[in-house]
Amino acid sequence: MAKKKVLVAGGAGYIGSFTVRALLEQGFEVTVFDNLSFGHRAAVPSAAILIEGDLSDRAKLTETFRSSSYDAVIHFAALTSVPESVEKPLLYYRANVGNSLMLLQAMADGGVGRIVFSSTAATYGTPLARLDEEHSTLPINPYGRTKLMVENALGDMCRAGALSAVALRYFNAAGASIDGSLGEDHRPETHLMPLVIRAARGIGKRLTLYGNDYPTADGTCVRDYVHVEDLAAAHVKALELLLDSAPGKFEIFNVGTGRGASIKEVIETASRVVGKPVPFDVGPRRAGDPAELVACSDKLQAQLGWRPKYLEIESILESVNRWFEKNPSGYRD
């Protein structure tokens, strides 16, 4: 049987690169489409095809879909910083909404009718109750609003019979590969776990803790940290669901562990993992940050059989520390 072909937009990025590797391990033929503004050429496995291009480039997209027949698309390409989205909303609407519509149009023109979309827990806003997929969506920052707009477009297209889609609302992606070959390398880095490990190892600047007066047990924000390898596995399962489904299917799944950890807990655990204190300063709250975001992923577990393998933040931080032991300067590209 011929291998299924998947185009992964943003496949050179953090979560995308892990998903590309997982797809290859499951026997898929993978093409990565990435402008490499945040992704890394070195993160793309040699078994995958890499097309360097931007989703805003209509001609490049058209050429890509004409050059090969894809069975599905996985869409990671986006801007993801909540504070930056507050400061530069137009940039986020253009990149996250406008470019997603460009991709969807190219898919339609190329006859590709399946997509797994990288969404976010930021679509929910401030939790009012248990955070399952039926919770209201009232995002409190432009980043979350852009992702929700794309979800709505996908839902409308599926109801019109033009598409089958899964949107994965995942919580805080974290971690690195156990063998230290793949990790998180944003430039500049904005995610907590690499920042705390770098600070503890003395290869990064002092950490800033944004707010210690939230209505949580220790005053710092609580988040659900899901290991990136578990996230990659969820994308593969979502893709397999679409490949086995009739046109028009649309599903939304949360992806998280169901366990929350405060920023203070992450700092204290990182100190134990590295064996050195994490130097940090307390700053003001950041606009758009809810006090607590913890997933209910019962639907994903029940319908797709997904289970997170990494439940403890200590094991996630250990993988990050191992990555920096082997790659203190990140990817060499």
Report the alpha-carbon distance of residue 43 to residue 123 in Å, rounded. 28
Cα 223–226–229 angle (5° rounding)? 160
DSSP class of residue 96 equals I
User: Is 170 an active-site residue?
Assistant: no
Active site residue: 143, 214, 225, 310, which one? 143
H helices present in 26-168, as ranges: 58-67, 82-87, 89-92, 99-110, 142-159
Residues 290, 273: Cα–Cα separation, whole Å: 27
Task: Give the whole-angstrom CA distance, residue 126 versus residue 124.
Answer: 6
Within a 10 A sphere around the Cβ of 196, how many other Cβ atoms?
Answer: 28
DSSP 200-267: HHTSSPPEEEE-S-SSSTTSS-EE-EEEHHHHHHHHHHHHHHHHTS-TT-EEEEEES-S--EEHHHHH
- The span from the CA of 57 to the CA of 255, in Å, is 31
Q: Using the structure block, give the residue that is written with the tokens 């058209």.
A: 62
> Which phi-psi region, left, alpha or beta, contains residue 219 (left: φ > 0; alpha: ψ -120 to 50)?
left
- Farthest-apart Cα atoms in the chain, separation: 58
Which residues in 155-184 are b (16+ Cβ under 10 Å) and which e?
A: bebbeeeebbbbbbbbbbbbbbbeebebbb
- Residues annotated as catalytic are 143
